[in-house]
Each structure stands twice: as structure tokens, then as C-alpha cells.
Structure 1
Amino acid sequence: MRPLTAQDPESVGGHRLLARIGAGGMGVVYLARSEGGALAALKVIRAEHAADPGFRARFRREAQAAARVDGRWTAPVTAADPEAAEPWIATAFVPGPSLAETVAGHGPLPPDTVRALGARLAEALAAVHAAKLVHRDIKPGNVLLALDGPRLIDFGIARVGGATALTATDVVIGTPGYLSPEQARARDEEVGPPSDVFSLGCVLAYAATGRPPFGGGTVPAVLFRTVHGEPRLDGITDDGLRILVARCLAKDPAARPTVPELRAEFGDFGTDDWLPPTLPAVIAERSARVLHLPEPERPSAPGAPVDEPPAPSRRRLLVLGGTAAVVLAAGGSAAVRLTGRDDPPSTAASRPRRTVAVQADLSGSGKALGASVEHGVRLAVEQHNARADRPFDLALRMLDDAGDADRAKEAARRLVADGRVCAVIGPTSDATALAAADRYKKAFLPMVTAWAGSDSLYAAVDMKNPTSSVFQLRPSDTAIGAPLVRYLTSVRPARRTFLVEDQAARDYSWLIAQRLAANPPSNGTVVRHQVAADTGDFGPAVAAAVAARAQAVVYCGDSSRRAASCARALRAAGFTGTPAATEAVLTPEFLRAAGPAAEGWVFSATFVDPSRLAPAAAFVRSFKKRYGVRSVGRGAAEAYDALGLVAHVLAPMGAGPVDRGNLTHRLRAVSYRGITRTFAFRDRAAEVDEEPGLFLWRVEHGTPLFLGQYQEVKV
């Protein structure tokens, strides 16, 4: 929970607002108290969405349906106003912790408790389905635990941060690891009550073992295992329970038990003593804490930015979030080479000094990118310190991790231990970011990176965690297919698209192909063709594309070398349509290996050419002059913006010591306009808004040409 901001109303529909539970692109969820004194979770939809008559009609219909849900183990709708300028709906607030929090903090539940949980959640699903709703997002975070039993929340209404549950099509709605195979395939027409049964099976497996049945890792890997793999249920010690959960996880929806069958097989359980002995006191204490919240203190400082609400103290943030404080031990023995280039102290005695660090590969295989990142940050620091009106001086600390995971961990340890460092820009590779992220997160030290493989990082770090200090400025790989869909729909339409799925990068290739198959360019047809990992011959795939009269061919893998083989095969076959791929392929290696066959290839990407952006013109001039180069290296503009974002948030924090947790909170709340795009984070989490950060490139005359933000690219 978070304090109310200056722009929040004091009340909505007779409900006194007490705190923010969450916020996103669709609206805000508040903790509120009704005129009768009852607590409610009140969701307010933003006016811009309500202005769409279609959206308002769907919201009205879905709110009415949700109000019909009448189950003991659901959080009922208590009030709603679909006709308000900003429509809202209120449900009973359950003050207990979620199943996710409980299992994470206290371990798996015993079999009898899991059976009781299953019986009650089956009853809750029966009530949801009786109202002609399908939940679609059953997960441990949507199961709240009260002393008398669980409550299933967030059923079938316009969810904050996403599309409406009943009417959205061609998108994956739900949480990877807990969604059904039909959801993973984005086959909306197949998603019915059996889908909820599958998700319930995943939740019960998690409750019994402490892990989701299809494992963790990257989003495409989890989705692939959900569709094609077998669940891991070896941690369920009760044979009968394990068999029942396995039936829920059948790939074929028709093979799963129905909700009434589930309820009967779980048996009868009373409401007393359903929890293991250690949990009732924990739940009671948590409930009492929330129920005795004080009246909110509303920000009133004149001129305070509306997008940066004052942060609660770390103690209050942790208490309300149910998160335990962590003290880091200074461990590790890997060597880190310090560059010896820390900036000198400020000469202005009266001006505070803020230290920002850069952790990058400056001597390994990724040193070209590391150098660009360093140059971009250094230029930003120099320009900041040259301003006469600056509220503080910036100092810079550089650490080289050489692209090595062990050295990255040691670099993170050193920066965490340095009390002067208030934020870290980097790391600059997959391995180093994944190695360092957990240490930064535990220390509440903001880590701001735009260069690591985002899907792996999103999967490894809970970006929805309100205390996460890992900020990924690069959009997730799950969104990187969107620019190609638009290009092949609005710029160079292709009614017949052929997808080359490279099994050498099975998970990544499946993710890209899945996005295009679920959203066919030009509403046309999509053909998927797999190329085995043990062959470099793309001739058969190209022959199949020609036979299908493809107007576009998308290489869905991540290998520049193999993409070049595909390009040469297309050129040899005389293909005249649009060849395309994602940024993983857009490298000098691809251009060299493909040669003339690279001409005309289109790429979706998350980085820019600042020389083609009007807001970056001054930066480009200064960069060329400062470093004596003819062009700005890849990554420098994003690094310049990353430093600008941190400096922007530091500005209103006063002259005293910087609290890292407070800075994390403010970073999550801010919207910052940089030279490359606007940066903002969804749901007050560390997950960046994706749309502004997706771009298109095309190879012309052997050189990649930046086309711009993908929604703005014209014919």
C-alpha cells in the first residue's frame, strides 16, 4: 500500500479513501472506507478510457456480472457506478495476506490445508462461473487468507493495468506459470471454466510445494513448458492430492475435472483449524494492522510534483507490504578492477554531493557497449555539473565487471557497501545483470539498466514487488513483436506471413512467433515453420515460404549468423517480400555475413539512433565534440537518459542523506521525458511502459536506418 497523492480525491461514491493499493494505465485501486465503516478495495477507471463508449458499455456489463457473484469464498462487489465520469467498482476488502506472501514467508502448506484450500476455491469458482464469468487470472497473489478460509479476488472485471477480462482477444491474459495452455496460446475463444480449473491446479501445486508446477525462468520458457511440458508435482507427498492436481493440469480442457467434481473430491472441511498452527497468529496480526490504519495524511506542499508522491518511511512501507527487512552480509571473493576514475569531490561546500555509479563491461567482449554507456553517463554528469542552478553536484564511480557474472556480484557488493552511492546505472549484459540484481534488490539500491536481455531479467526479478529496486528501461521481449505486426499491417501490408522458428533458440523463437501468430499482420494468415537446431540450411524453410506465396518472412530466432543464412537463402530464391527479425539479429555480424542479402530487412528494436531524433540533437553535437567521434555509439543515448532520470528524481529530495528506499519509491512513481522517449513505470512497479520504447529499423544500402517509434512510422 502507498499513501494518497495530491491528485487523489478525498472520497469516491461516498467512500473515504485511505491509501493506494495499486495503479496502472487503466486506473487506480484504493483502500477505502464506506459510510458505514466497512473497508473496500475501490477501483477507479481513468476518464480517458471511460470516454470510449465501447469500453464504458463493457465495464457496465462486466460490473453487473461481477455483482452477481455470490459466494462465501469470494470478495463480493459492494457498490459500483458505471455512469460516473470516472467509473468505479468497490469490493469487500480482505485484510489478510495473500497465499503468495504466506508460502514465500512460511513455506509450503500441509496436504490437509491444501485440500481445504482447494475445496473452498472450487466453491468460489462455482460462484464465479454461475455469474457467466471466467476468472482468467487465478494465482497465489489473488488468493487472500482469512482465519475462516481463503477469499478469491479480482474476478471478471476491468482489471487495473490490463484489458477487460471478458472482452479482450488475441492477447495472453493471466500470469505465466498459472495460466492454462489455451491462454498461453492466446486462443481466447477456447478459454472457459476448464481454464480456471487448470490455473487452480497450478495454485494448489504451488501451495503444496512452494513452486509453480511448470518452473521458473524466462516467460517464453514457462509458456512453452505450460503448452508442451509435464508439470513437476514430485513435492506433493499425498498421493491422492497429487493425482487430483495432475488431473486439473491436463493439457486437454475436456480431460480436466469439472468444478463440481473437484468440490466433491476434495471432501468436506470445516472452517475451524484449517490452517497449520503457526499461521493463525500471523494472519490475525496482519489483519489487525490493516484494520487500524490511521486517517491518511494528504500531501499539501505547494509546488510538489504530482507524479512524485512523498514516500512512506521504509519501516511503514515494509510493514504494510508484508516484507521482511534484509541485512546484507559483505561476502564474495571475486576480483573487481576499479577504473580509478571516480570523479573528484565537489568544490562547492554548500552544495550537496550525490554519487551515482556505473557498472559495465569495459574490458570484456561487450566493451564497445560498455564504453558507450560510460561516455553517455559521463557527458550527462558533466552537463549537470555545469548548470549554475543545479541543486546538487553529481559524482561518478566506475566499476568494470568485464562481462563476468562473478565479478558482477563482487561489483554489486562493493557498491552496496559504499554508502555514498545512491543509484547504479547498468550492468550492460544478461549475465552480469542477472548476477547482480538480487544483491541490489535486497539492499534497496536502485539498479537502472537498459541493455540486459529484458525477458530474463523480468523473470528473475519480481518487477511487481513494491520494494523492488531493479529498474529495466528496456521493454520486455514479450512486446518486441508488436512493431513488426504494425509494419506488416500499416507500412508494408502483408496478408500472408511466414514465420521461421529457429530451434537453436527454441524459447525465444517460440515467444516471437506466438506474438505474431496471435496478432496476424493485416488480419491475414500466418504459417509457422521450424528449423532444427542441428542444421544451418534454411533452404527448405525458404522453399516452403515461396510455396505459401508469403509476402513477409520473419526470422524468429536470436542468432545473427543463422539469420544471415536465412537472408542468403531468401535472396537466392528471389524472394521479393519483406524479410524481418528482432534486435537480437541487428548486429555488424549479420550485415557482414548476409552481405547484399541484408538489404531491405526490417527489425523491431528497443534502442534508437539519436542523430535521427530532434530532442537529441544537442546531445549528439555535444557527444561528438566531447569524444571526437563521427557518430554516437549504440547505448550512449539510453545511458544519458538513465542518468537524467536518476538526477531528475534526486532533485527534490533535499540536502540531507539520500535514503535508497525513498529513491526507489520516487523512481517508481515518476514520469520522465528524456532525449530518446518518456520513461514511466506501470502500477508503481519497476516495469517500464513499453509502447514509447519500441522502434523500427530497416537496412538500406547496407546500413541500418532508424525509422523511429513504431507507431509513428509512415509508409
Structure 2
Amino acid sequence: MQPLLPSDPARVGRHRLLGRLGAGGMGVVYLARTPGGALAAVKVVRAAYADDPAFRARFAREVRTAGRVRSPWVVPLLGAGPEDRPPWLATAYVPGPSVAEAVELCGPLPRRSVAVLGTRLAEALGDVHAAGLVHRDVKPGNVLLALDGPRLIDFGIAREPAGTALTGTGTVVGSPGFLSPEQARGTGAGIGPPSDVFSLGCLLAFAATGNRPFGDGSPAVVLVRTSYEEPDLAGVPDDLTDLLRACLDKDPARRPATADLITALAASPPGEDWLPGQVVRLIARRSAAALALPVVQPTVLDAADTGATAPDPGGEADAVAGAPTVTRAAPPPRPSRRRLLLGAAGGALAATGGGAAWWAWQRRDRSAAAPPGPRPRLTVAVHADLTGAGGAVGKAHEQGARLAVAEVNSRTGHDFALDLVVRDDGGAPDRARTVAEELAADERVLAVLGPSDEACMDAVVDTYQRALLATVAVSPGRTRYVQRVHVATRPQDDALAAPLVAHLSRTVRTRHTVLLADAALGDTAWSVCTRTAEALDGQVRTDRWTVAAATGTEGFRTLAERVVDSGADAAVFVAGPARAALLAGALATAGFTGARLGTHHALAPDFLDRAGRDAEGWVFAAPFLDPLSEESTARFSTAHRERFDGADPPWYAAETYDAALFVAQALTELGTAGVERGALVRQLRETRYDGITKLLHWEASAASYNLNALYLFAVAGGGFVYRGRLADTVR
């Protein structure tokens, strides 16, 4: 729910508007009250389309067709003004999520839920087809979930199988990924009830797996797959696979009829458990928010003043222009009283795009909340390498997270307290998978800080995606993960080129730089070198060389001599500490006097120990700051010493502290009544957190939460010295 804008009307027809539920390209959907006090969803067409005769004809047809369908599983139409300016229609409102939203927030539906969903939607489509119509846009966003069953909504492109199209030949009408091959052809011919069955098969496959059966990608690519390739039904329950494959047959004549689907699914009527608990709780919270809306006193308006038709005798709905009188079907059996207390059922939201930002109601003034009592306890986890080769970084994760949890729990009047679960994977991918499965199965855990190791992150990110468990990465930076749960709080490794270039161009003032990519570090080294060369291109001469993974001491001596012979005034080596130390010694022996740079992969005591005096003067680009050297982290450093026996905070501890408080802020904005894993994943993309180390907020264009947290260190006096932030370097 979002507040009304100053430009929004106070009422539409005889409906008093309460707020905005969503907005799309075609119009806006409002939450409103009918004259009798019931809640309604009112769709209002944007002015740009209201004057388009073709669009007005399509909208009027939507009103007529919606009024022709009589089914307990189809959204009931309450009223409409297709000839008003702007045109509008009103449906009953239910706070349940769409199938798309439920899968995003709570994960794929279990087998029983999919069977009931398929049965009821087959019944709904049977009623649609009995009315002489084809829906043409059966998709997850057009099916809402209620406690007593689903509701099919949005008849915007429904029409008779032989009806006249309002779009030109070759135009595809529908939603790619959920439309039939005959729709994909765009001719408008041959689109009958089997087309809706195909779309239903796509929807059920999505509900069962969370994936579209014809994949993602551009609309054109998906349309081609739909027309010529077989569906991917991996993850669909075995006993439903053959049925869904039949629904997705390319030949409409071979697809089952809706009656056959009902028989094949053989689902019992929805009971107390037709939906999983997470979805039920989501419905309950939205129902509570709807019940908390202010009551608007009934208002009597002249029809002439609004352009609306006169009220019906019951006073609940406007007459539907151009539609027959609708006799309401008998309501489905009511759920138990306990179930009703969890959430309201019935009706549906007819939306033109976007979702209802329901949690806005959870964030209203908390001074009117329930009497003080024990704060709810929410759980986050640290998944890190605490005992393996990366133990230092893993322990920094744990220490930073513990300080953040202590900070949250010390706040008086805070809505919740945090519990911390810590799991060690030892830096072993197989062990990391076991840890991820354990955390994913623990329903208390709402987010994971980690893993701290890149190979372990590679091994577990799919497990966390399936569990819709936010995976907040502090230290890994090699791979750009596509999973929505992955929260990258640091720039990718190839961004390390920025501080390298800044130092080379502003401090060294290089004219010729040799860029050395260590094959032992994989693609990361080549990527950083390539980005650096591209940034320097046209300004200075650059040479890019790959250092073979098998290169030993003698090979590094030869390499160093080659660098000297090239006449370069700077050398960049992207490698780990041991091999960077080998090059440091070789360059010193060869008499190289130019600048020597590396990346945080070598920024470790092992480099100092191995290189000795030859390490002096090296400069490193890093994605973490020194908490002892920044004013913003002074209090954190003091708290760390007090908590951990006088020890200075290690690198990545302050960044983990920020990551944990970022999660805590998202939980606060979400509200304790709205806590589900999937909801938190979505909220993290809305939350903006200004921490002690960096600003964290979602950058969709870069698929990252931070692009600028880059720093420089140098070796001086036998130790690492912090040189500052990239932002300070380029001023």
C-alpha cells in the first residue's frame, strides 16, 4: 500500500480511494471502499490511453467479458465505468499474494498446493470457456491465492475464440513464457480453450519449481523456445510431469481438456493446509493490514455528478455497463474460524502491473503498538571458514557480526532482538554444502553472512537460492552471481582496476606499464589486468602478459629481466602472496626500480615474510579499509578491543559489521510481522544503509550493492600501511 498522490482523485465512481496498490503502463490500481464499506480494487486507465478508441474498445470488452463469467474461482466484478473519463472498473479485493509473488517470497509451492491450484484453475477456465471466452493471459501474476482457493483475474485480452482482434496481424498478445505456440505466432488464428490449457501448464510448472518451463531471456528468445523447443520440467513432482507435458504439447488438439485436468489432478477440496505456512502467514499479515484501514463513512452521491450508473439495490456495487446482470455463484465452503482469523479470503485484485507494497502499513507509528513485552527474536547466521586456510577472514566475519548483533540488542525500544548462529565450513566446498543445507533447513535463519570463501560461495549459492535465504557476501568478489538471494556488499574483483589506475596515473605518472596476470589465480587476474589496460589505453603504453601457473623461481627471474628490458616504469602483478613474493625478489635482483603494484590477493603476512626487504614500496588495491585508520570506524575499533581482549579489528570485520546492520535495517523496515525469507530478499533491494565503511544500496544496472568501496595499501617499514580510499585518491 502506498499513499495517494496529490494528483490522485478522492473517489472513482462511488468508491472512496484509500491508497495505491500498484501502477503499470496502462493505469493505476487503487484500494477503495464501496458505499457499503467493503474493500475494492479499482483500476483506472491512464489518460494517454483513455482517448485511444482501440484501447477503449478493449477496455469495454474487458468489462463485458468479466461480467459474463460466473465462477467461485474468478474475480467478481463489482462495477465499472467504461464510458467515463477516465474509464475504470472495480473488483472485490483480497489481500492474498499472486502466485508470482508467493513463489518469489516463499519459494516453490509443495505438490499438494500445486494440485489444488491446478484443479481450481481448471474449474475456473472451464467456466470461462463455458461463457464462450478464452482468457489468453493465464500467468502467475494473474492468479491470486486465498485461503479457500485461487482467484483468476484480469480479462483485459480475453475474447471469443473467433472474435475480432483489436491489434494488428503479427502482434503477440499475452505474456511470453506463459502463452501458447499459437499465440506466439501472432496471427490471432486458432486460439481457443487449448491455448489457456497450455498457459495453465506453464503456470503450474512455475509454481512447482520457481522456473519458467521455457526459460528466461528476451521475449523473442522465449517465444522461439515456446514454439519449437521442449519444456524444461526438472523439479516438477514426478506424478505431475506427464500431465504438465501433455498440457504443453505443441499441438492444441493433443492437450487435455479442463475436465480431464480436474480428473487427473484428483485434488481434494482445499482444507486447512492447502497452502504452505509461509504463504498463510503472508495472507494473515495482509489481512491484518486491510482490517486496520480507516473506515470511511458511507457517502451518497448523485450519479450525474460522477458519471457513474445508479447504485444497485444492495448498495454494494455499480452496475456494469454493457454486461448482463450477474447472479453470484454460491460461495465455496468457508475455512475454519481459526483459519479466518489468520487472514481474509474471497475476491481478487485486478492489477495492471506492479505489486502491492503491503509492508508500508507495517511501518506506521509504532507508538500505538501492543503493550511492551518480550521482543521477538530473529536469527541471522555467519557461514565462514573459521579453521581452514582462510580462517583469518572467517573470524573477522564472526567478530564483526557479533558486534553488530550486540549493537542491535542494546537499542532500547527496538522492535526485535537478534540471535546469531555461527557455522564453520573450514574452507572446504563439500563441507560448505552441508552447512548450507543445515542453515537452509533451519526456518529460524532469515539471512546468512557469508560464506567467506569464494569456492565455498560457488558451492552453496544455489542451495541458498532454493531456500530463498539471503546470502550477504562480504569478502568474495570473483564471480558475478545471478541468483537473487546473493547480496554482494563489495565491488567485484575486476573493479580493483580503478585504484590501480588512479595510483599509476596520478602518483606514478606511468608512461609504460607491464600488467602480469597469474594463471594460478584464474580468470580474476586476467580480468583485473584487462580492465586496467582498457582504462589506461590511449594514455600510456601497456603490455599484458600471462604468467603460467607452473612458473617457478627461475621462471620469475627470466620474467623480471623481461620487465626490465621492456623499459617499463611500473609493473602490476595480480597474484597470491607466495607468487607475488617470488616476483618481488626477482624484480629486486634484476634491478627494477619502477613502481610495483598488486591486489588484495597478496595483501597478507605471508607476502611480507617471504619477500622480506623486497616487499618495501609495493602498493596494493583492496576492497576493505583499515578500521584503525578511519575516523568513521574509531568507535567500532574501540568496541572490538573491549569485546575481544584488546585485539585490533582485522580486515573485513568492519565490513561484516556493516553487512549485519544492513540486514538489521531491512528487517526493521520490513517489520517483525512481515518477516519471511523471500520478503527479506526483496526488502534488501529497497533498503539504503549508510554504514561506517560504505553506503549499501541496490544498483540494478551493476547488479551490486556497492561499487565504490575500494582502497590502497602500501608496504613501508616492513608492514602494511593504509593509504586511504579511492575517492580521496582521485580528488
TM-score w.r.t. structure 1 length? Answer: 0.54
Give the deviation of 1:95 after TM superposition. Answer: 6.7
Whether 2:385 is the aligned partner of 1:361: answer yes
Give the deviation of 1:545 after TM superposition. Answer: 2.2
Whether 2:666 is the aligned partner of 1:693: answer no
Give the deviation of 1:637 after TM superposition. Answer: 0.9
Paired with 1:412 and 1:278, the residues of 2 have a C-alpha distance of 43
5+ long unaligned stretches in structure 1: 20-30, 40-91, 110-138, 152-203, 211-274, 283-290, 307-347
Amino acid at match of 2:616: E
Amino acid at match of 2:623: T
**Contact 1:424–1:446, Cα closer than 8 Å, also in 2:** yes
Paired with 1:540 and 1:4, the residues of 2 have a C-alpha distance of 67
Partner of 1:515: 531
Alignment of 1:82-161 (within 5 A): 141-144=217-220
Residue by residue over 1:420-454, the C-alpha shift from the partner in whole angstroms, topping out at 9 and shown as x without a partner, is: 111111111123222221111111111112122x2
Whether 2:683 is the aligned partner of 1:666: answer yes
**Of 265, 269, 277, the match for 2:250:** 277
**Of 408, 414, 418, the match for 1:394:** 418
**Contact 2:714–2:721, Cα closer than 8 Å, also in 1:** yes
**Contact 2:359–2:674, Cα closer than 8 Å, also in 1:** no
Partner of 2:141: none
Q: 1:402 to 1:530 in 2, by over 3 A?
A: closer
Residue by residue over 1:460-500, the C-alpha shift from the partner in whole angstroms, topping out at 9 and shown as x without a partner, is: x314xxxx112121211222212111211123211211112
**Contact 1:6–1:299, Cα closer than 8 Å, also in 2:** no
SS of corresponding position for 1:553 = strand
**Contact 2:362–2:670, Cα closer than 8 Å, also in 1:** no
**Contact 1:488–1:522, Cα closer than 8 Å, also in 2:** no
Q: 1:503 to 1:406 in 2, by over 3 A?
A: closer
Paired with 1:8 and 1:602, the residues of 2 have a C-alpha distance of 55
Q: 1:296 to 1:658 in 2, by over 3 A?
A: closer
**Contact 1:489–1:521, Cα closer than 8 Å, also in 2:** no
Give the deviation of 1:624 after TM superposition. Answer: 0.8
Alignment of 1:473-512 (within 5 A): 473-512=489-528
Q: 1:32 to 1:553 in 2, by over 3 A?
A: farther
Partner of 2:726: 710
Alignment of 1:55-94 (within 5 A): none
Paired with 1:445 and 1:383, the residues of 2 have a C-alpha distance of 23
**Contact 1:96–1:144, Cα closer than 8 Å, also in 2:** no
SS of corresponding position for 1:611 = coil
Paired with 1:293 and 1:280, the residues of 2 have a C-alpha distance of 32
Paired with 1:616 and 1:281, the residues of 2 have a C-alpha distance of 67
SS of corresponding position for 2:591 = coil
CA RMSD of aligned residues (A): 4.3
TM-score w.r.t. structure 2 length? Answer: 0.53
Amino acid at match of 2:505: T
Give the deviation of 1:300 after TM superposition. Answer: 10
Paired with 1:445 and 1:646, the residues of 2 have a C-alpha distance of 12
Whether 2:445 is the aligned partner of 1:436: answer no
Whether 2:440 is the aligned partner of 1:416: answer yes
**Contact 1:471–1:686, Cα closer than 8 Å, also in 2:** no
Amino acid at match of 1:544: R
Q: 1:406 to 1:296 in 2, by over 3 A?
A: closer
Partner of 1:27: none
Alignment of 1:173-212 (within 5 A): none
Amino acid at match of 1:572: T
Q: 1:298 to 1:281 in 2, by over 3 A?
A: farther
**Contact 1:500–1:531, Cα closer than 8 Å, also in 2:** yes
Give the deviation of 1:632 after TM superposition. Answer: 0.9
Amino acid at match of 2:472: V
Q: 1:446 to 1:296 in 2, by over 3 A?
A: closer
Q: 1:702 to 1:415 in 2, by over 3 A?
A: same
Alignment of 1:277-426 (within 5 A): 277=250, 293-294=351-352, 349-426=373-450
**Contact 2:380–2:421, Cα closer than 8 Å, also in 1:** yes
Give the deviation of 1:509 after TM superposition. Answer: 2.8
Paired with 1:474 and 1:280, the residues of 2 have a C-alpha distance of 53
Paired with 1:295 and 1:635, the residues of 2 have a C-alpha distance of 41
Partner of 1:607: 624
Amino acid at match of 2:352: P
Whether 2:560 is the aligned partner of 1:587: answer no
**Contact 1:496–1:550, Cα closer than 8 Å, also in 2:** yes
Q: 1:662 to 1:588 in 2, by over 3 A?
A: same
Q: 1:544 to 1:510 in 2, by over 3 A?
A: same
Give the deviation of 1:17 after TM superposition. Answer: 6.0
Q: 1:484 to 1:305 in 2, by over 3 A?
A: farther
5+ long unaligned stretches in structure 2: 9-19, 30-44, 56-169, 185-214, 233-247, 256-348, 365-371
Paired with 1:427 and 1:531, the residues of 2 have a C-alpha distance of 29
Select the structure with the greater relative contact order (CA < 8 A; seq sep ≥ 6).
2
Give the deviation of 1:503 after TM superposition. Answer: 3.4
Paired with 1:366 and 1:150, the residues of 2 have a C-alpha distance of 44
Residue by residue over 1:124-148, the C-alpha shift from the partner in whole angstroms, topping out at 9 and shown as x without a partner, is: xxxxxxxxxxxxxxx972343687x
Paired with 1:624 and 1:522, the residues of 2 have a C-alpha distance of 48
Q: 1:143 to 1:526 in 2, by over 3 A?
A: farther
Percent identity, please.
Answer: 33
Give the deviation of 1:709 after TM superposition. Answer: 2.0
Q: 1:643 to 1:296 in 2, by over 3 A?
A: closer
**Contact 1:486–1:521, Cα closer than 8 Å, also in 2:** no
Partner of 1:449: 473
SS of corresponding position for 2:697 = strand
**Contact 1:696–1:709, Cα closer than 8 Å, also in 2:** yes
**Contact 1:380–1:640, Cα closer than 8 Å, also in 2:** yes
**Contact 1:499–1:554, Cα closer than 8 Å, also in 2:** yes
Give the deviation of 1:6 after TM superposition. Answer: 8.9
Q: Which of 1 and 2 has greater Rg?
A: 2
Partner of 1:333: none
**Contact 1:9–1:17, Cα closer than 8 Å, also in 2:** no
**Contact 1:351–1:391, Cα closer than 8 Å, also in 2:** yes
Alignment of 1:208-223 (within 5 A): none
Q: 1:518 to 1:146 in 2, by over 3 A?
A: closer
Q: 1:640 to 1:150 in 2, by over 3 A?
A: same
Residue by residue over 1:65-98, the C-alpha shift from the partner in whole angstroms, topping out at 9 and shown as x without a partner, is: xxxxxxxxxxxxxxxxxxxxxxxxxxx9977666
Paired with 1:278 and 1:620, the residues of 2 have a C-alpha distance of 68
**Contact 1:682–1:688, Cα closer than 8 Å, also in 2:** yes
Paired with 2:693 and 2:386, the residues of 1 have a C-alpha distance of 24
**Contact 1:6–1:298, Cα closer than 8 Å, also in 2:** no
Q: Which moved more, 1:660-669 or 1:514-523?
A: 514-523
- Aligned length in residues: 438
SS of corresponding position for 1:498 = strand
Partner of 2:654: 637
Paired with 1:655 and 1:416, the residues of 2 have a C-alpha distance of 20
Residue by residue over 1:579-603, the C-alpha shift from the partner in whole angstroms, topping out at 9 and shown as x without a partner, is: 1111111111111111111111111
Whether 2:605 is the aligned partner of 1:547: answer no
**Of 605, 611, 623, the match for 2:640:** 623
Give the deviation of 1:16 after TM superposition. Answer: 5.4
Q: 1:415 to 1:645 in 2, by over 3 A?
A: same
